[in-house]
Each structure stands twice: as structure tokens, then as C-alpha cells.
Amino acid sequence: EYQVYGRRWFMLATYFMIGAQNSSQWICMSAVAAPAARFYGTDNFVVISAILIFDIVSPTAFLVSIFISRFGVQRAVMIAAAGTCLGGWIKALWLETEGQLFGQTIMAFAHIFSAVGMPVYSAIWHPTKERVLSTSILFFATILGGGTGFVLAPLIIGENPSRVPLFFLVQAIIGTVACVPALAFQRKPPTPPSRSAEVAESLPSTSFCRDIARLCGNGQFLILLLAFCLGFAIMNTVAITAQDIFKDYTPLQVGLIGAGTVFTGMFGCVFLSIIVDRTERYKEALVTSNALAGLTMLWLYFILRDRWGFMWVASAVFFCGFFGI
């Protein structure tokens, strides 16, 4: 017989806190790049480079997926929690440029383990009817964490470089509290929650290289991959260089713009998902959302060029997030 256990929600909450806290330190320094650069005695590029580490290590997701398939999602969660906690304390205690880069690198690898393991966790612990919900909740942890980091950094640091250590100390303490429950994370339930979970456990492992070759030969998949990568690249560029793009505004205003973009993107994702579920028009939805995202980016360009004001900028960026993310 198949059985679901109430403890799955504890596992979900634990996983959620780890993912949210890790993501909160990803782009958080974007809104306060200038005061952070003054604190470290360097330029904005070094601060931005620390943010880009998350993107640089992202190709290791292939290797992490192999690790999870062999050793299980529990070890992935433990590594994600340990990396998030350790990286946060390194950034809080080693207040040099090297410490910032080293701590960020550890957190970037922890992020890979957290992100790749999300669907695996859902398949192991949740019945079929709950898998989409649990995976979506974990996905939103990344969004919520990123939006929170965008606001928290300007609130604590503002334009005062001397408050950078306080911000990292607060983040390290929050990270410790969020990651400690991972010690109680279990490998899998005593019995599978569904027939598909039971079958998945008994299936022999497939060739990783063969699966990659099959994907690379799928033209439709490559088109979707290209569209996603281009959209993510644009969004990431704006988020990382936010203080340079919106240099006429205060760090708090830049943080609110970044957080608003993330949260409107979340609502846009939900809105588009509902439409696609009801109409099953996947191609039309993708083309329309990408076209509208491009038009709003063009609108943002004219607003920034002519300096229309904060509310106009915020509105344009929010629409970019709604259609783009």
C-alpha cells in the first residue's frame, strides 16, 4: 500500500527556508553596489562579479543531478544547508573582497544542490496530485528569497558603507536559523507515496550522455532553451546592474524596483500557468509573453533616456517582470 506522511510538510518547510535564505544573498548587493564597493575599497565591478558567481557555477547542475541520482536528495539538502550557512558566516567574518568572493562561491554551489533537488524531493515525498504544488512552493522560495534580499540590503545598509558588516551578520544569523532544521531531513518515507514513486525507485539508471544527446537532437527543446536563456539573461543583467541602470535613485528605491520585479514575475508566472492549463496553447502563450516583455523593455529604454520619474520606471520594470519572468 502507498502512504503519505504528515512529516512531508516539515521537509517541505525545511527545504523552503534553505532555498529562500540562499537566494536572498544572491543578488542582494546589487541595490547597494556603490556603498559595498566603498566598504571593500574596490569598484562596483568586483561587487557585481560576486553576484555573477551564481551564474558561472550553474553548468555544474549536470554533475549535481548525477550526484542526486546516486546518493539521494537528503544529501543534496544537507550540502545546500551547510553551504548556505558556511558561506554566510564567511562573508560576515572575513570582511575582505576575497572573503566576499569565497563565501559567495560556496553559496553558489549550495544553490545548485538546492535547485536541482527540488523536483526529486517532490517525487519522493508527495503523492502525484501534490507534486506540482510542492515543486511550485519550492520554486517560489527562490523568488521570495531574491525579493527579500533586494529590500533587506538597502534597509540595513542604505548609503552607509560602515553598515555592510551588520547586514552580513544579520544574514548569517538568519541563515543559521533557517538551515539547522536540515539536520532532521530524512532520505525518504518508509513507504512510497504513489505507484510512480515506487516504479522510479526500481528503474535502472540510464546513460547520462545518451540523455543529453537525445535532448540536443530535439529541435523544439532547443528553441525553448534558447528563448528561456535569452529572457533570463536580460532579466539577470537588469537585476545585477540595477544600481548602475537606475543610478538617479536611492538604494532603497532600487531595492524596491528589484523586489517588485521579482514578485510581479511570480504573479505573471501564476497568471500564465492558469491560462496555459485552461487553453493548452503553449506556443501562443510563449510568443505573446516574450513579445510583450520585449515591448516593455523598449518602453523602459525611452523612460530612462528621457528621465520620466521613479513611478514610470517602476511601472515599466514591473511589467517587464510580469511578462518576462
Could you report the per-residue pLDDT of 98-127, keeping only the tens digit for each? 999 999 999 999 999 998 888 888 888 888
CATH number of 173's domain:
1.20.1250.20
Instruction: Determine the pLDDT at residue 108.
Output: 93
- The angle that helices 7-24 and 164-179 make with each other, rounded to 10 degrees, is 160
Domain of 69 in residue numbering reads as 1-192
Q: Which three cell numbers stand for residue 26?
A: 544572491
Q: HSE (CB half, 13 Å, CA atoms) of 296?
A: 24
Instruction: Determine the pLDDT at residue 206.
Output: 58
Domain termination site, one of 192, 225, 248: 192
CB atoms within 10 A of CB 171: 24
- 159 and 223: one domain? no
Instruction: Determine the pLDDT at residue 277.
Output: 60
- 170 and 43: one domain? yes
- 170 and 217: one domain? no
Instruction: Determine the pLDDT at residue 10.
Output: 92
Instruction: Determine the pLDDT at residue 324.
Output: 66
Q: How far apart are CA 66 and CA 74, in angstroms?
A: 14
Could you report the per-residue pLDDT of 224-261, keeping only the tens digit for each? 778 777 777 777 777 677 767 777 777 777 777 777 77
- 66 and 13: one domain? yes
Instruction: Determine the pLDDT at residue 316.
Output: 82
Residue segments in the chain with a per-residue pLDDT below the cut of 50: none
- 164 and 238: one domain? no
Q: How far apart are CA 171 and CA 158, in angstroms?
A: 16
- 213 and 186: one domain? no
The number of folded domains in the chain is 2
Instruction: Determine the pLDDT at residue 325.
Output: 53
DSSP, residue by residue, 260-320: HHHHHHHHHHHHHHHHHHHH--HHHHHHHHHHHHHHHHHHHHHHHHHT--HHHHHHHHHHH
Helix (H, G, I), strand (E, B) or coil at 17: helix
- 243 and 144: one domain? no
Q: How far apart are CA 264 and CA 247, in angstroms?
A: 22
- 54 and 186: one domain? yes
Question: Which residues touch 308 (CB under 8 Å, ≥6 apart)?
Answer: none
